[in-house]
């Protein structure tokens, strides 16, 4: 472990990516992912990573390149955000359906229109149906930790599904943080070489990507669904292994911060949990029994574990940076399903914050918690600018 | 039947599918009179189901022959003719 | 005398029987001939389309070589990834990579990915099976559909005479990328096709080979005459066969020009040009395309 280096997030993530020894990397530039791939480019150009770095003409091709390379049986990496992730979405679903353990970092950014390059989590949330494992990081060091674990989880023969590590754009990759990164030897000990179950091989030819008629397709989806459920225990197992190998905790499915005796629990993904933890501490000092459950593994959705962790709470306050337009927040929708028809039935409120990089302030969080303790909210937007005239809505 | 991860399948499995059953109208008859073993019929069969080891030995595997008629059309010595499917002689 | 054992060494059956292509399908024949030329040490990346659908219905596969199908427009990108993985694991001297698709996948939806792959110089042979429409989805117009051809999305009607644009010249687009080898072949000339594929595979770097393949269903032609129609397209000058190796052009000469009517009149997709109305002006326009090709490529032996 190399400790105490002050690194820009993107640099730390690029170094971690290189330590995992991908053989083929392909990416297309999009803000705010660019710094990561630029750092990786330099690492390859300096001969510090033996890999093919393919500068493609678009994200659809970036994902396709890593799909092809993974099919030959090598470890791969790609990275994107927002419009790029949407453009490659067809390939994202394809990779999961083909059971190729591709790993990527999604640098979370809002989606157009209007064009906005700042952070929210809409992009990766949109991909929640795809069959990819999704892990959300709070800080740069955790992004790196989850990246290493993601390769191990994805390549596990009990899983063989792709995995996406999500980190908040600008907030994480662009920020400087003191990180401890493992050495190459430690990574090699933790993450063995990729051992594919099926691959393209002239000595043992296979046909990959056959089409499935109605008599067969449904079973393939059932297989992925069941595998995702089984992956929950693999994710926890790998987190425990990480903890014992590297001497620092990796929480597994979620991190509980002052949750056990809390009557009000906030649920959130990613970096905003940091601010929420500060608010929790402040409210606790004032005698309020508040906590935050930071969800790390969003897909597969850990229904049972969440029920166990939250069934004693009276109020669950979901704060999320996404909205399924015409419906509710995605995380809130999933959380409500956890409790439906069960014995425990806390009041569940959903709030939408921080879209398009809108700042999430301590006051926003306090007001939201207070609001949720008095009435149930469906998908209330927090932090809207009161003085703006909105055509067709209030003016 | 097993559904593999990612519907990966192994080579040549299509051979269980006997496309010869598609023929309704005609099938090739190799007359074995003027054949010069040029091998072109075997070359141009889209099913790859024509075989032969020398002059006047060529035949189409009727399990797979779809009766398209390309072989009869290309034979330079007109030694292949398309006959009705029902014909016993073929 | 060709013994069966000897001929099997020629890799005649790397596309196995039992595939569900239409009887007389030009593309299935061409694909079989391509593999025959390429041999076992290839990895094939295939786009969605007729060739993929009739050869890879789970769990039956007609492919005796490693083969992967991903999506419709990313064939070249997937092939680039396959090539990169082979390169980094030191296998590229033993294994060749072929990316293949139809004209829809090539001229239209996949053109961006092809351009990227060619521009980056990947050691991949791209093969386009040109049957001049989106045949797998039911005969819709593509950028490669010829002038005045009937397709379901360019039908002749009260105010239309069929496809209103000439073919997109993809070989020239490929050439513009400065790649070492571009060739146009036809299933009507199987040995020329074979030679061009072998030639392409002997060259390192990006290559493009386009193969004209009649589609009996889509063109409305007699399945037995697939090879005849492919030859007529060449002999009229409408489908010039040529190759460009490192900038040097060689074209397949035709002994005598055949009038385009000979080619067009027995195809249902051009039948509306031979009905009650006088379409000699339109036929003359098609003839001038053929004449321009003959001029441009020096096709007639003088």
User: Given this model, what pLDDT does residue B88 score?
Assistant: 64
CA count, 13 A, side-chain hemisphere, C231:
12
Of C56, C77, C116, the CB nearest to A210: C56
Of A66, A207, A216, the CB nearest to C81: A66
| A359: number of Cβ within 10 Å | 10
Please tell me the distance in Å from C31's CA to the nearest CA on chain B.
9
What does the alpha-carbon distance between residue C154 and residue C167 come to, in Å, rounded to a whole number? Answer: 13
pLDDT in tens, C74-129: 999 999 999 999 999 999 999 999 999 999 999 999 999 999 999 999 999 999 99
Tokens of residue C278, six digits: 């006088």
Find, in chain B, the residue whose alpha carbon is nearest to that of C70. Answer: B6
Tokens of residue A186, six digits: 């430690």
Distance set, CA A186 to CA A145, A192, A236, C198 (Å) = 12, 11, 20, 48
Global confidence as pTM: 0.96
Query: Is residue A220 within 8 Å of residue A212, measured between CB atoms?
Result: yes
Query: Is residue A178 within 8 Å of residue C18, measured between CB atoms?
Result: no
User: Is a pLDDT exceeding 80 seen at residue B2?
Assistant: yes
> How many beta-carbon pairs under 8 angstroms link B with C?
118
Sheet with C124-130: strands ordered across? A207-208, C67-69, C42-46, C96-102, C124-130, C207-212, C181-186, C242-245, C248-251
Of B3, B10, B11, the CB nearest to A223: B3
pLDDT band at C285; cut points 50, 70, 90: very high
Residues 6 or more apart in contact with residue C210 via CB below 8 angstroms: C106, C127, C128, C130, C170, C171, C183, C184, C185
Residues 6 or more apart in contact with residue A340 via CB below 8 angstroms: none
Q: Which of B46, B70, B72, B80 to mutate to test the interface with C (most CBs of C within 10 A)?
A: B46
What does the alpha-carbon distance between residue C302 and residue C14 come to, in Å, rounded to a whole number? Answer: 41
Domain assignment of residue B83, given as a range: 34-90
User: Given this model, what pLDDT does residue C1 score?
Assistant: 38
What does the alpha-carbon distance between residue A348 and residue A332 come to, in Å, rounded to a whole number? Answer: 8
Query: Is residue A291 within 8 Å of residue A268, measured between CB atoms?
Result: no
Average pLDDT of the segment spanning A130-153:
98
Three-state DSSP at C183 gives strand
Query: Is residue A328 within 8 Å of residue A344, measured between CB atoms?
Result: no
Tokens of residue A188, six digits: 């090699």
Q: Tell me which residue of C231, C154, C247 sits closest to C186, measured CA to CA.
A: C231
User: Is a pLDDT exceeding 50 seen at residue B45?
Assistant: yes
Find, in chain A, the residue whose alpha carbon is nearest to that of B4. Answer: A220
User: Given this model, what pLDDT does residue C12 score?
Assistant: 80
User: Is a pLDDT exceeding 70 seen at residue C286?
Assistant: yes
Mean pLDDT, chain B, integer: 94
pLDDT band at C284; cut points 50, 70, 90: very high
Q: What is the dihedral of CA C18, C55, C15, B16, to 10 degrees?
A: -30
Q: Which of A68, A210, A215, A221 to mutate to test the interface with B (most CBs of B within 10 A)?
A: A210
**Residue C63 contacts A, CB cutoff 8 Å:** yes
Q: Which helix (H) or strand (E) holds C101?
A: strand C96-102
What does the alpha-carbon distance between residue C48 and residue C267 come to, in Å, rounded to a whole number? Answer: 26
- Say if the Cβ atoms of A210 and B7 lie within 8 Å: yes
What does the alpha-carbon distance between residue C54 and residue C28 come to, in Å, rounded to a whole number? Answer: 9
User: Is a pLDDT exceeding 70 seen at residue C8?
Assistant: no
Find, in chain A, the residue whose alpha carbon is nearest to that of B6. Answer: A98
Query: Is residue C103 within 8 Å of residue C133, measured between CB atoms?
Result: yes
pLDDT in tens, C136-188: 999 999 999 999 999 999 999 999 999 999 999 999 999 999 999 999 999 99
Tokens of residue A209, six digits: 């990507």
Contacts of B85 in chain C (CB under 8 A): none
- Say if the Cβ atoms of A160 and B4 lie within 8 Å: no
Average pLDDT of the segment spanning A164-168:
98
Please tell me the distance in Å from C36's CA to the nearest CA on chain A.
15
Task: Give the percent of chain B with pLDDT over 70.
Answer: 97
Tokens of residue A294, six digits: 């930071």
Find, in chain B, the residue whose alpha carbon is nearest to that of A93. Answer: B6
Average pLDDT of the segment spanning A156-179:
98
- Say if the Cβ atoms of C71 and A23 lie within 8 Å: no
Contacts of B8 in chain A (CB under 8 A): 198, 206-208, 210
Residues of B with CB under 8 A from a CB of A: 3-11
User: Given this model, what pLDDT does residue C243 score?
Assistant: 98
Instruction: Give the distance between the most distant pair of CA atoms in chain B.
Output: 52
What does the alpha-carbon distance between residue B22 and residue B2 come to, in Å, rounded to a whole number? Answer: 27
What does the alpha-carbon distance between residue C233 and residue C215 come to, in Å, rounded to a whole number? Answer: 13
- Say if the Cβ atoms of B14 and C18 lie within 8 Å: yes
Q: Tell me which residue of C139, C140, C142 sits closest to C167, measured CA to CA.
A: C142
Contacts of C59 in chain A (CB under 8 A): 210
User: Given this model, what pLDDT does residue C5 score?
Assistant: 47
- Say if the Cβ atoms of A64 and C70 lie within 8 Å: yes
Backbone angles phi, psi at A50, to 5 degrees: -85, 95
Mean pLDDT, chain A, integer: 97
HEC profile of chain A: CEEEEEEEHHHHHHHHHHHCCCCEEEECCCCCCHHHHHHHHHHHHCCCCCCEEEECCCHHHHHHHHHHHHHHCCCEEEEECHHHHHHCHHHHHHHHHCCCCCEEEEEECCCCCCCCCCCCCHHHHHHHHCCCEEEECCCHHHHHHHHHHHHHHHHCCCCCCCEEEEEECCCCCCCEEEEEECCHHHHHHHCCCCCCCCCCCCCCCCEECCECCCCCHHHHHHHHHHHHHHHHHHHHHHHHHHHHHHCCCCCCCEEEECCCCCCEEEEECCCHHHHHHHHHHHHHHCCCCEEEEEECEEECCCHHHHHHHHCCCCEEEEEECCCCCCCCCHHHHHHHHHHCCCCCCCEEEEEECCHHHCCCCHHHHHHHHHHHHHCCCCCEECCCCCCCCCCCCCC
C neighbours by CB contacts (3+ pairs under 8 Å):
A, B
The gap from C-alpha B53 to its chain's centroid, in whole angstroms, comes to: 15
Contacts of B10 in chain C (CB under 8 A): 61
| Cα torsion A85, A379, A135, A344: sign | negative
Query: Which CB contacts under 8 angstroms, 24+ apart, belong to C279-286?
Result: C279/C161, C282/C148, C282/C161, C285/C147, C285/C148, C286/C146, C286/C147, C286/C148, C286/C238, C286/C260
Fold match flag (A2-246 vs A254-381): yes
For residue B12, tell me if it sits in a domain: no
Three-state DSSP at C130 gives strand
User: Is a pLDDT exceeding 80 seen at residue A307?
Assistant: yes
| A373: number of Cβ within 10 Å | 16
pLDDT band at C6; cut points 50, 70, 90: very low
Average pLDDT of the segment spanning A153-166:
98
Contacts of C69 in chain A (CB under 8 A): 208-211
User: Is a pLDDT exceeding 70 seen at residue C7?
Assistant: no
Residues 6 or more apart in contact with residue C254 via CB below 8 angstroms: C234, C235, C237, C294, C299, C300, C301
Please tell me the distance in Å from C94's CA to the nearest CA on chain A.
9
pLDDT band at B90; cut points 50, 70, 90: very low
Distance set, CA A275 to CA A248, A271, A359, C69 (Å) = 22, 8, 11, 46
The answer to whether the peptide bond before residue A113 is cis (omega within 30 degrees of 0) is yes
The ipTM assigned to this model is 0.95
Query: Is residue C36 within 8 Å of residue C14, measured between CB atoms?
Result: yes
Backbone angles phi, psi at C101, to 5 degrees: -165, 175
pLDDT band at A43; cut points 50, 70, 90: very high
Tokens of residue A302, six digits: 């850990």
Query: Is residue A23 within 8 Å of residue A53, measured between CB atoms?
Result: no
What is the domain count for chain B? 1
Could you say which architecture CATH assigns to the domain A254-381?
A: 3-Layer(aba) Sandwich (3.40)
Q: CATH: 3.30.70.270, 3.90.230.10, 3.40.50.970, 3.30.479.20. Which one for A2-246?
A: 3.40.50.970
Average pLDDT of the segment spanning A275-286:
98
Task: Give the percent of chain A with pLDDT over 90.
Answer: 98
Query: Is residue A181 within 8 Å of residue A1, measured between CB atoms?
Result: yes
- Say if the Cβ atoms of C71 and A208 lie within 8 Å: no
DSSP state of B37: -
List beta partners, residue A371. Answer: none
Helices C75-88, A59-72: crossing angle, 10 deg rounding: 50
Helices C26-38, C190-201: crossing angle, 10 deg rounding: 40
Find, in chain C, the residue whose alpha carbon is nearest to that of A53. Answer: C84
Query: Is residue C125 within 8 Å of residue C98, measured between CB atoms?
Result: yes
User: Is a pLDDT exceeding 50 seen at residue C3?
Assistant: no
Does the domain at residues C4-297 carry the CATH identifier 3.40.35.10? no
For residue B66, tell me if it sits in a domain: yes
- Say if the Cβ atoms of A65 and C86 lie within 8 Å: no
User: Is a pLDDT exceeding 50 seen at residue C264?
Assistant: yes
pLDDT band at B87; cut points 50, 70, 90: confident
Q: What is the dihedral of CA C188, C194, C195, C197, to 10 degrees?
A: 110
Tokens of residue A203, six digits: 């000595």
Q: Where are the domains of chain A?
A: 2-246, 254-381
Q: Which of A73, A95, A196, A209 to mutate to test the interface with C (most CBs of C within 10 A)?
A: A209
Task: Give the percent of chain B with pLDDT over 90.
Answer: 88
> How many beta-carbon pairs under 8 angstroms link A with C?
153
| C87: number of Cβ within 10 Å | 18
The answer to whether the peptide bond before residue C290 is cis (omega within 30 degrees of 0) is no
pLDDT band at A394; cut points 50, 70, 90: confident
B neighbours by CB contacts (3+ pairs under 8 Å):
A, C
Distance set, CA A315 to CA A249, A296, A373, A376 (Å) = 28, 20, 6, 9
User: Given this model, what pLDDT does residue A1 score?
Assistant: 87
- Say if the Cβ atoms of C28 and B19 lie within 8 Å: no
């Amino acid at each position: 472990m190399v400790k105490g280096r002050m690194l820009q997030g993107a640099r730390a993530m690029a170094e971690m990516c290189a330590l995992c020894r991908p053989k083929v990397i392909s990416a297309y530039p999009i803000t705010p992912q660019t710094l990561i791939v630029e750092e990786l480019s330099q690492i390859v150009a300096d001969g510090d990573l033996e890999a093919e770095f393919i500068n493609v003409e678009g994200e659809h091709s970036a994902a396709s390149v890593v799909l092809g390379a993974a099919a030959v049986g090598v470890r791969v990496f790609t990275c994107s955000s927002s419009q790029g992730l949407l453009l490659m979405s067809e390939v994202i679903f394809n990779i999961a359906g083909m059971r190729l353990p591709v790993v990527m970092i999604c640098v979370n950014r809002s989606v157009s229109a209007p064009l906005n390059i700042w952070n929210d989590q809409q992009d990766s949330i949109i991909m929640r149906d795809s069959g990819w494992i999704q892990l959300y990081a709070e800080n740069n060091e955790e992004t790196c930790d989850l990246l290493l674990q993601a390769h191990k989880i994805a390549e596990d023969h009990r899983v063989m599904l792709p995995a996406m590590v999500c980190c908040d754009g600008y907030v994480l990759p662009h920020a400087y943080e003191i990180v401890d990164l493992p050495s190459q030897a430690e990574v090699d000990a933790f993450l063995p070489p990729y051992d594919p179950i099926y691959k393209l091989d002239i000595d043992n030819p296979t046909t990959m990507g056959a089409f499935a008629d109605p008599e067969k397709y449904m079973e393939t989806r059932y297989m992925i669904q069941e595998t995702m459920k089984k992956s929950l225990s693999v994710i926890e197992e790998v987190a425990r292994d990480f903890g014992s190998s590297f001497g620092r905790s990796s929480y597994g499915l979620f991190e509980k911060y002052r949750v056990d005796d809390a009557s009000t629990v906030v649920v959130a993904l990613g970096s905003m949990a940091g601010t929420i933890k500060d608010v929790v501490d402040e409210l606790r000092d004032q005698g309020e029994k508040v906590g935050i459950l930071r969800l790390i593994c969003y897909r597969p959705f850990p229904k049972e574990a969440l029920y166990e962790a939250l069934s004693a709470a009276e109020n669950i306050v979901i704060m999320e940076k996404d909205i399924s337009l015409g419906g509710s927040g995605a995380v809130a929708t999933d959380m409500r399903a956890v409790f439906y028809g069960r014995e425990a039935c806390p009041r569940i409120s959903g709030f939408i914050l921080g879209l398009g990089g809108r700042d999430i302030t301590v006051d926003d969080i306090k007001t939201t918690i207070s609001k949720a303790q008095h009435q149930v909210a469906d998908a209330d937007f927090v932090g809207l600018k009161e003085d703006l005239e909105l055509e067709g809505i209030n003016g | 039947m097993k559904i593999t991860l990612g519907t990966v399948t192994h080579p040549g499995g299509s051979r269980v599918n006997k496309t010869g059953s598609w023929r309704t109208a005609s099938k090739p008859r190799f007359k074995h009179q003027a054949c010069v073993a040029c091998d072109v019929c075997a070359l141009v069969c889209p099913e790859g189901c024509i075989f032969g080891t020398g002059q006047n030995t060529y035949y189409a595997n009727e399990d797979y022959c779809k009766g398209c008629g390309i072989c009869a059309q290309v034979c330079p010595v007109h030694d292949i003719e398309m006959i009705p499917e029902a014909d016993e002689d073929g | 005398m060709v013994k069966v054992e000897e001929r099997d060494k020629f890799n005649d059956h790397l596309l196995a029987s039992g595939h569900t292509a239409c009887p007389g399908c030009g593309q299935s024949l061409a694909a079989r001939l391509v593999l025959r030329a390429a041999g076992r040490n290839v990895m094939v990346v295939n786009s969605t389309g007729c060739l993929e659908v009739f050869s890879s219905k789970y769990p039956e596969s007609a492919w005796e070589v490693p083969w992967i199908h991903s999506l419709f427009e990313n064939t070249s990108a997937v092939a680039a990834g396959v090539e990169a993985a082979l390169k980094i694991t030191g296998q590229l001297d033993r294994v060749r990579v072929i990316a293949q698709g139809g004209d829809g996948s090539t001229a239209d939806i996949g053109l961006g990915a092809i351009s990227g792959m060619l521009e980056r110089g990947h050691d991949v042979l791209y093969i386009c099976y040109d049957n001049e429409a989106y045949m797998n989805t039911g005969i819709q117009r593509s950028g490669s559909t010829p002038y005045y051809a009937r397709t379901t999305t360019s039908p002749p009607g009260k105010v239309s005479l069929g496809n209103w644009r000439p073919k997109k010249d993809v070989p020239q687009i490929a050439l513009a990328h400065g790649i070492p080898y571009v060739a146009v072949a036809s299933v009507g000339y199987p040995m020329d096709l074979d030679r061009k594929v072998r030639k392409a595979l002997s060259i390192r770097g990006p290559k493009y080979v386009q193969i004209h393949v009649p589609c009996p269903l889509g063109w409305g032609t007699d399945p037995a005459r697939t090879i005849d129609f492919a030859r007529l397209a060449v002999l009229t000058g409408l489908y010039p066969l040529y190759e460009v190796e490192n900038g040097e052009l060689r074209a397949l000469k035709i002994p005598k020009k055949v009038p385009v009517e000979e080619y067009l009149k027995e195809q249902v997709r051009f039948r509306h040009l031979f009905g009650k109305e006088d379409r000699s002006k339109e036929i003359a326009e098609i003839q001038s395309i053929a004449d321009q090709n003959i001029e441009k490529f020096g096709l007639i032996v003088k």
